[in-house]
Structure 1
């Protein structure tokens, strides 16, 4: 039917000439042949120039890429060398020590070796191996220049001979200064040529490509493909001279290495006196052009032949096209993705396609050219379409036929159709009918994602703030609104132990349960992570709602086969009592939540004015803590660790004390978490480590010192280096230092944690696992991680002697430790009965008030001098904070 309608349309578009003059065809053939010849010649010349330009641009980009890579590498090496030099300067005087070699080896990586020389030029340490070879470079003019007071740019590399291997190499040289700022030695780092060659060989430019590295004075550092005989020679006076005159040059030069003409791109490094040169031979570049030349000539000849054939067939095809064109138009119209209907100026249907019939499910035999809009409306009625659609269609087609417009209509079966009308020249109009159901659904989905949480389906933070603002604006005199901030307790542990998919399922279950607890006037949203918020329009029964929420959350959830019983901390703020502004009410609900979490979690708190006061007090304490850290206003106390077999002090645990001038001794439980929150724990932990090692070095050689390490401090990749530096400065043997970590640390960042533990063990430091059994203990990490000691938590020791006490648990821990050759230590021992039972269970060490509280260094020295700790323990049970 569409073909009939189209044939009734404007016929003039389909008419063509009946005869074509032979002379016109011949003339057209000559003109086309000439055009093909001229175009081919232009393409041949242009392709050659374009190939050369592209090669120059490619070489320039490659040189720039290599220069930037070298710049970044040298910048990283300079930072690395400065940190290493700073660590070495703190261990002045420089000594030929294995710990220093270990420090250098840890910092080496894959880019060059460190060599450490004293002021006489003697090699005293190196990362290459241990012991170091006997090398002296004191007579070398370069070494004399390095050790002089002349201030040079130590960040720039120098091209010198390797003092150990003898070959030419680029090296970074750092002059070390002693306490008086005089030269204490020289730290060099030789960068092997193999690194440049390896990076160059990874870049694919062609078999004729070459990459060379020069100093900006023209001396060859290295070249790939290798040209070892030329390394160290100067080419400033060769044909390469122009490449060294600016930061980025592209020239054609005759190579002094193979005598070929090369396109060369040079790039000077931004901060190093080094020039990178990337080149290709001109013949190698043009080899592809010669192949392209034959292709162009062949294509031109084939095209000329094709033109002749086409012109020959043109006469016959013109007449045939009249018939074919009608058929093609019909096929194109019928295969449109949109439905199409064309009307003339009088409103009669001229054309429609099959898609139009499919959209409205109209019979093909009923829709004929010549129908008016009213006739089509009748057909829609017969097809059973919604009366609303029919009325919209009549209004759109019949009443407003002359204007450009569009509208959407939803069919009874749920489909949405976009109808667009466009007037055409000479009268009439064309209408397109497009099904946009999926687009509408996608738009709805995007709108949903913008305002709702994708995981739980609850409103998100943006929608929550808007709703809260509207609810606050709607408060009438005498009304009271409640805002509840809900935080799921220990949700992070669920993620860490059971995995994020289980954590996500738990959040969805919690969201569903929260919604079931609310009345129609209440509103719940997920703010992110494990935080939810509830807006209760009528706060009269807020306590009942809180009780309902807590009871609902405490019921077990089945998440992927895991029965989880979460709990929540809730902070509550009321409006208008606590504020009428969105941000003000949110801040006070957050303070109330913080108070609930601080008081042991699993509870709820209403906002109280004193919470704001506590927040300000915490801020004040944080300010004082920053000052105390800067002034080192802390003390270290030491609690003895007693060997149960001998009764002697086997070591001590270093415990930090803060004697505040006004507050007195501030509890570590108060200021240590604060230090972690405000970013001071690393600086504070380094000070404790330095002080503990410095005190312990004066104890008997058999005694160890244990230092607690914050997870934040431990996760730094530089932590093993800082431990090595503290040991080197204090002179304490590495095996006398124990670092205490918690179980929570082993649950996170497993690979990086294992790497740092292995680096510490390589230094000889021992690792103790603190408070074992109170977290999420796992036998797998006892096997996987290098742990030397397990500390049994005080909570087990307290119930040890009870009839239904923890003795079986302690026995199991001791046996597990013994099987892995690990030492066990019991914390918080306060009675002789506890001591005796622990000794029977096989525990090796103890600490607690039974033996001694934590003591200042002077009091500890007197205790050690007193002999057997158990004999004098009764006189030392004075009250003290452990």
Structure 2
């Protein structure tokens, strides 16, 4: 199939050929008229002179008329010839402009994907003849979408032009430069196969150059880039010597590998990356299909009042019940769902199920739900969440939304608006993973949080790590000073629990109380009459648990870890 503009180019060529033929005809007519003018002029001229001198009669009228007609034809023909020449020049300029528009990106002036691929193929052929190697670099700007979302598309376009200028300045002058997609650029140039160190220096310099702050509309914008590189003497994804299309695919795979490794860096393409990319593609397809099929389900981790041992609620944790991979942890699918833009649908699906499950619990039990930072950028998130509550007929005061601390650093104004909107409906808000982000005490005081949660990374090793123990102590005292309830994550043994009891009335959760359970197991456990009354009165100084199947009471601080785990699981 021809390219869309192939017909236009053919028509333009045909029209140009017709004009050239007309041009030759016009020139021939003018030439013939000039020859005829010379012939008739040689007869008319002397007779006109003799007539004026009264030596003889004037020229014959027929010859005189022919002579005058030749003059008119010459004037008309020459004028038309000049017009045709001007039209041809204008046509050539228009064709050149059309060709340039068809081959280049209008925003940056770089080649577009089609013309870039053609240029790379020609460059590979030329390099092979000179015993050189072609390197292709794929450059993708990190988090560019946020620039558009927060600063507008005009600022985004200006940033793209600035990045294009930086790319051109950091690469060899003979390099082919292309804009492949929205914020994706590509470059290719030939080099000596024994000078890999030179390419490494160019790649490092390019990453550093792009990563410098940019002033756009008097706003300082921080941007970084991830880059993948492939070389023409390496085996392609199919094991064959790569052409331009294959090189672009290889560099693209390496670029995504760089993104998954933390961004703001570069990687050469390696064969194993293709396998990773195929798995990634299968994972993305599985996530999209799994959302539609209801494969993402809520699991529930119990939250306990550490002083009384009472069950106070559950935190909902998403799991992927995949027919291909089994039960998949959120650490695997959440980042992928965020990158492909499926996190909102996934989260809403799981929250909807959790609200239906929580309706059957005791009315005193709360439901805690994590939300993605990407969801907080959605200006309609609060309305979507309230709609879910209405559909499920679930009391807002029993729902607790957990916002990670890193969200505050990204957009404090939007976070404040969201928190205020949810709290006005009676929903409680927790600051999750406190101590791992960038929020300040001023932000903590200015935002109306109902609870702070100490991240598990500080809790699991607090007995061995004095620094972590000091951080936990400081956060617990901060919560008490600000009158903010505290929840501790990551309680995995009785010793950690005993250490935390010194901080008074706080909540805790972790594997020490049992693994997260699916709704079916949780409903069966909650409906078991043996679990009634396991938690003792809050007036006791130490929580105690009943031994399963007996009336014997065991102090929590003296129970063996495995035994204590079994008993605390009953509280879930």
Range class of TM-score, shorter chain: 0.5 to 0.7
After superposition, what is the alpha-carbon deviation per residue over 1:585-643, rounded to whole angstroms, capped at 9, x for unaligned? 32332122222322343443333444444444344445544554455445532212233
Q: Tell whether 2:136 aligns with 1:483.
A: yes
- Correspondence for 1:649: 311
1:636/1:481 Cα in 2 relative to 1: closer, same or farther (>3 Å)? Answer: same
Q: Tell whether 2:212 aligns with 1:557.
A: yes
1:482/1:817 Cα in 2 relative to 1: closer, same or farther (>3 Å)? Answer: farther
- Correspondence for 1:467: 119
Name which of 485, 499, 503 aligns with 1:823: 485
1:828/1:659 Cα in 2 relative to 1: closer, same or farther (>3 Å)? Answer: same
1:787 deviates by: 3.6
Contact 2:120 2:176 in 1 (8 A): no
Structure 1 residue matching 2:353: 3-state secondary structure: helix
- Correspondence for 2:431: 769
Partners in 2 of 1:803 and 1:669 — Cα distance?
28
Name which of 200, 203, 217 aligns with 1:546: 200
Contact 2:203 2:266 in 1 (8 A): no
- Correspondence for 2:515: 853
Contact 1:639 1:853 in 2 (8 A): yes
Q: Please list every run of 5 or more consecutive structure 1 residues that lacks an aligned counterpart in the other structure.
A: 1-398, 408-418, 422-435
- Correspondence for 1:617: 279
Q: Tell whether 2:223 aligns with 1:571.
A: no
1:737 deviates by: 1.5
Q: Tell whether 2:529 aligns with 1:874.
A: no
After superposition, what is the alpha-carbon deviation per residue over 1:710-744, rounded to whole angstroms, capped at 9, x for unaligned? 4666634651343223441xxx4321111234456
- Correspondence for 2:549: none
1:653 deviates by: 0.7
After superposition, what is the alpha-carbon deviation per residue over 1:45-65, rounded to whole angstroms, capped at 9, x for unaligned? xxxxxxxxxxxxxxxxxxxxx
1:829/1:451 Cα in 2 relative to 1: closer, same or farther (>3 Å)? Answer: farther
Q: Tell whether 2:387 aligns with 1:722.
A: yes
Partners in 1 of 2:78 and 2:156 — Cα distance?
60
Contact 2:171 2:202 in 1 (8 A): no
1:445/1:797 Cα in 2 relative to 1: closer, same or farther (>3 Å)? Answer: farther
Structure 2 residue matching 1:739: 3-state secondary structure: strand
Structure 2 residue matching 1:702: 3-state secondary structure: coil
Q: How does 1:573-588 map to 2 (within 5 A)?
A: 573-575=230-232, 577-578=235-236, 580-588=242-250
1:723/1:468 Cα in 2 relative to 1: closer, same or farther (>3 Å)? Answer: same
After superposition, what is the alpha-carbon deviation per residue over 1:811-860, rounded to whole angstroms, capped at 9, x for unaligned? 369637953x5433333344667656666678833322344432345466
After superposition, what is the alpha-carbon deviation per residue over 1:786-820, rounded to whole angstroms, capped at 9, x for unaligned? 5433333334446756355584597369637953x
Partners in 2 of 1:675 and 1:609 — Cα distance?
25
After superposition, what is the alpha-carbon deviation per residue over 1:555-592, rounded to whole angstroms, capped at 9, x for unaligned? 87355599998654322233364365444432332122
1:736/1:515 Cα in 2 relative to 1: closer, same or farther (>3 Å)? Answer: same
Structure 2 residue matching 1:641: 3-state secondary structure: strand
Question: Which piece of structure 1 moves more, 586-595 or 600-609?
Answer: 600-609
* Root mean square deviation, CA, Å: 5.2
Equivalenced residue count is: 453
Q: Tell whether 2:260 aligns with 1:598.
A: yes
- Correspondence for 2:474: 811
Larger Rg: 1
Structure 2 residue matching 1:545: 3-state secondary structure: helix
Partners in 1 of 2:489 and 2:117 — Cα distance?
49
Structure 2 residue matching 1:689: 3-state secondary structure: helix
- Correspondence for 2:172: 519
Partners in 1 of 2:515 and 2:560 — Cα distance?
10
**Highest RCO, 1 vs 2 (Cα 8 Å, sep ≥ 6):** 2
Partners in 1 of 2:186 and 2:497 — Cα distance?
50
Q: Please list every run of 5 or more consecutive structure 2 residues that lacks an aligned counterpart in the other structure.
A: 1-74, 536-542, 546-555
> TM-score, normalized by length of structure 2?
0.61
Partners in 2 of 1:565 and 1:836 — Cα distance?
46
Name which of 701, 705, 715 aligns with 2:367: 705
Contact 1:772 1:790 in 2 (8 A): yes
Partners in 1 of 2:347 and 2:276 — Cα distance?
26
Partners in 2 of 1:866 and 1:551 — Cα distance?
64
Partners in 1 of 2:495 and 2:96 — Cα distance?
71
Contact 2:430 2:449 in 1 (8 A): yes
User: More strand per residue: 1 or 2?
Assistant: 1
Partners in 2 of 1:816 and 1:492 — Cα distance?
36
Structure 1 residue matching 2:515: 3-state secondary structure: coil
Partners in 1 of 2:372 and 2:132 — Cα distance?
48
After superposition, what is the alpha-carbon deviation per residue over 1:267-306, rounded to whole angstroms, capped at 9, x for unaligned? xxxxxxxxxxxxxxxxxxxxxxxxxxxxxxxxxxxxxxxx
Partners in 2 of 1:518 and 1:698 — Cα distance?
64
Q: How does 1:674-823 map to 2 (within 5 A)?
A: 674-676=336-338, 681-682=343-344, 684-710=346-372, 715=378, 716=380, 718-728=383-393, 732-742=394-404, 757-758=419-420, 760-775=422-437, 777=439, 782=444, 786-797=448-459, 802-805=465-468, 807=470, 811=474, 815=478, 819=482, 822-823=484-485
Q: How does 1:396-545 map to 2 (within 5 A)?
A: 402-404=78-80, 464-465=116-117, 467-476=119-128, 479-490=132-143, 514-527=167-180, 530-538=183-191, 540=193, 541-542=195-196, 544-545=198-199
Structure 2 residue matching 1:537: 3-state secondary structure: strand
